[in-house]
Structure 1
Amino acid sequence: MATVHFSGVTKSYGSTSVVDDLNLELPDGSFTVLVGPSGCGKSTSLRMLAGLESVTSGSITIDGRDVTHLQPRERDVAMVFQNYALYPHLTVRENIAFPLRASKTPRAEAITRADEVGESLGLGKLMARKPKDLSGGQQQRVAIGRAIIRQPSVFLFDEPLSNLDAKLRVETRTELLQIQRRLGITSLYVTHDQEEAMTLSDRMVVMRDGRAAQVGTPLEVYGSPVDSFVASFVGSPKMNLVDGEIADGAFIARSGLRLALDGAGAPGRVTLGVRPDDLLVVPDADAEARVTLVELLGPRAIVTIAARGSNLTSVVETQRMSGIAEGTPVALSVRPGAAHVFDAETGRRLVGDTKDGKQPQR
């Protein structure tokens, strides 16, 4: 196990900075997830830690040892790739054992260790098969086993579940988290899927334009986004963001939509953020807002509303859907204490409850 530090790390290609002055700590034994849109620098950051990309400036240390300019094999890290990267001509047993064989470990010892790792991953009956005879989830477990057998200081995961179908992703995600918890090895995981990041991580790093926009626990990032970018990126359905102003203790959108707010903050131009779960809708024949779409999802429904030119989303429990259908006029309100208010110019957070009482980390 080891603590990892990125200190002022920058990666540039000519005049273009892909990662810009990244300062980040991965605590010993933690599971940290880098999440963000395509091109934000998350995969490049992972590859620099692995030694697959050079660092333009700054330094990377693993357990106090500077690895910035070391070769990948000298860093004591193991990586699981998106495409599994298994050897098609080798059996499951031989694939898992390969790192030990490459380091000149005696064959008998390598095979014994491979069988132990395979058994722990539920692959015991598949050890003699070739990769082509395995499902996607089984192949991914073989790739994880090949990383585990090295007993590295750091695990690196580069979108390892993106090739799996939805059901298998959930199952493999659970298995992966259980493995990491059991081994306690410091892990860095890259994904563009914010739901995956919320589920897996001890700490989330939301990246934007090569920088860490926010670092914190999933609850901190979801409950107290530091700006409107993080607010819109984290959460599904995504947060409603509406431009307008605070006046007389209420929010007035540019379109004229008015919402009463509890603790609205100082008057002025702002962007209001409301999670769909916190936007309350009630049938009201005199209201101007109207339901335009209802998506039933078992115990809840996602309701899309047109309100004076603003398109808003609300999540409503199915048992509260009585009287709400497409075309229904509805009155809107914000759950008390649930509004997020951001500066209209900078997007920085001004007002909003922190769900767990903690301030987000930077």
Structure 2
Amino acid sequence: MASVKFSKVEKSYGTTTVVSELDLELTDGSMTVLVGPSGCGKTTSLRMLAGLEEVTSGSIHIGDRDVTALEPKDRDIAMVFQNYALYPHLTVRENIAFPLRAKKLSRADAHKRADEIGESLGLGKLMDRKPKDLSGGQQQRVAIGRAIIREPAVFLFDEPLSNLDAKLRVETRTELLRLQRKLGITSLYVTHDQEEAMTLSDRIVVMRDGRIAQAGPPEEVYRRPADTFVATFVGSPKMNLIDGAVVAGELRTESGLRMTVGGPDASSVTVGVRADDLILTPASGAAATVELVELLGPRAIITVRAADQQLTSVVEAAALNAITPGATVGLSARDAHRFDVHTGVRIEA
């Protein structure tokens, strides 16, 4: 196990910079998740740590070693890819054992260790099967087992669950988190799925245009987003953002929207309200109208039209009797965030 440190790391292709001044530290034994939209630089950052992309400037350390110029094989890392990359002619046991066989460990010892890891991954009854006889989730667990058997200093995960269906993705995500906690190996995980990032990470790093937009514990990033980009990217449904003025605790827009938000007056501000914090109160003659109700078991996602704004609220299903399509509702915020209307940067209370 080891810590990882990116120091002023940049990556450019000609005149195009895809990662800029990346300063990031992964503490020993942690699970750090890079998340962001396509093209933000997260996969390039992972590949630079793996040695699959050259660093244009800056340095990368694993523990006390500067690995910036080392070959991938010399970095003591193990990587799990999106496409599994299993050997089709080998059994599950042989696939998992392959890294040890490549190091000239005896067949018997390598297979014994592979069986132990396969059992821990729920693959005990599948060890003699070929990859073509496995489900997508089982194949991914084999790929993870092949990474574990190397006992690396650092695990790298490049969107490993994106090819799985929703049910398998949740199950494999849970298993992956359990294993990482058990093994305590420093891990860097890349995904575009913010829900996956929130669930897996000790620390979430939101990237935008090759830079870190915000980094911190997932709860902190969710509760105190640094700007409007992070506010809308992290959280599902995404945060409601409304430009207007706050007068006597009420948000008012030129188009006629009115919402109780509390806090000091502001002549021009962007107010952000999480869907969970947008309270709908049945009210005759109110300016907001319910457009759509999406029932999701015990909760429902409500789409509301208020003046020229489309807003989203999450409510308990038990409260839906008076909140039906076409109903008028009053709006208030249980908790409201404020951002600079020009820069999008968070304004602290």
Instruction: State the TM-score bracket (shorter-chain normalisation).
Output: over 0.9
Q: In 2, Cα distance between the equivalents of 1:287 and 1:266?
A: 23
Shift of 1:256: 2.3
SS in 1 for 2:314: strand
Q: Where does residue 272 of structure 1 map in the other structure?
A: 271
CA contact (8 A) 1:243 1:254 kept: no
Q: Where does residue 10 of structure 2 map in the other structure?
A: 10
SS in 2 for 1:303: strand
Q: Tell me, which stretches of 5 or more residues in structure 1 are unaligned?
A: 353-362
Shift of 1:36: 0.5
Q: In 1, Cα distance between the equivalents of 2:290 and 2:260?
A: 20
CA contact (8 A) 1:248 1:267 kept: no
Q: In 2, Cα distance between the equivalents of 1:168 and 1:254?
A: 47
Q: In 1, Cα distance between the equivalents of 2:221 and 2:185?
A: 24
Tell me, yes or no, if structure 1 residue 221 matches structure 2 residue 218: no
Deviating more after overlay: 80-89 vs 100-109: 100-109
Q: In 1, Cα distance between the equivalents of 2:14 and 2:265?
A: 44
Shift of 1:327: 0.5
TM-score for the superposition, normalised by structure 1: 0.95
SS in 2 for 1:285: coil
Q: Where does residue 50 of structure 1 map in the other structure?
A: 50
Q: Where does residue 298 of structure 1 map in the other structure?
A: 297
Shift of 1:74: 0.2
Q: 1:206-229: CA deviations, max 9, x gaps?
A: 000011111111100000001000
Q: Where does residue 124 of structure 1 map in the other structure?
A: 124
Q: In 1, Cα distance between the equivalents of 2:16 and 2:118?
A: 44
From 338, 343, 349, give the equivalent of 2:346: 349
Shift of 1:135: 0.7
Q: Where does residue 26 of structure 2 map in the other structure?
A: 26
Q: In 1, Cα distance between the equivalents of 2:166 and 2:254?
A: 39
Q: In 1, Cα distance between the equivalents of 2:259 and 2:123?
A: 56
Percent identity for Structure 1 against Structure 2: 71
Q: Where does residue 316 of structure 2 map in the other structure?
A: 317
Q: Tell me, which stretches of 5 or more residues in structure 2 are unaligned?
A: none
Shift of 1:116: 1.3
CA contact (8 A) 2:194 2:233 kept: yes
Q: In 2, Cα distance between the equivalents of 1:208 and 1:179?
A: 30
Q: 1:1-53: CA deviations, max 9, x gaps?
A: 10000000101111111111100000000000000000000000000000000
1:1-362 alignment, distance < 5 Å: 1-263=1-263, 265-335=264-334, 338-351=335-348
CA contact (8 A) 1:288 1:307 kept: yes
Q: In 2, Cα distance between the equivalents of 1:340 and 1:121?
A: 43
Q: 1:281-316: CA deviations, max 9, x gaps?
A: 011112121001111111111111111111101111
Deviating more after overlay: 30-39 vs 111-120: 111-120
SS in 1 for 2:347: strand
What one-letter code is carried by the residue in structure 1 that aligns with 2:309?
S
Q: 1:36-83: CA deviations, max 9, x gaps?
A: 000000000000000000100000000021000100000000000000
SS in 2 for 1:293: strand
Q: Where does residue 357 of structure 1 map in the other structure?
A: none
What one-letter code is carried by the residue in structure 1 that aligns with 2:330?
A
CA contact (8 A) 1:299 1:318 kept: yes
Q: In 2, Cα distance between the equivalents of 1:226 and 1:168?
A: 33
State the Cα RMSD in Å.
Answer: 1.0
SS in 2 for 1:32: strand
CA contact (8 A) 1:279 1:333 kept: yes
SS in 1 for 2:18: strand
Shift of 1:257: 1.0
Q: Where does residue 356 of structure 1 map in the other structure?
A: none
Q: In 2, Cα distance between the equivalents of 1:266 and 1:41?
A: 39
Q: Where does residue 359 of structure 1 map in the other structure?
A: none
Shift of 1:266: 4.9
TM-score for the superposition, normalised by structure 2: 0.98
SS in 2 for 1:70: coil
Q: 1:59-116: CA deviations, max 9, x gaps?
A: 0000021000100000000000000000001111110111111122222221111111
Q: In 2, Cα distance between the equivalents of 1:146 and 1:71?
A: 20
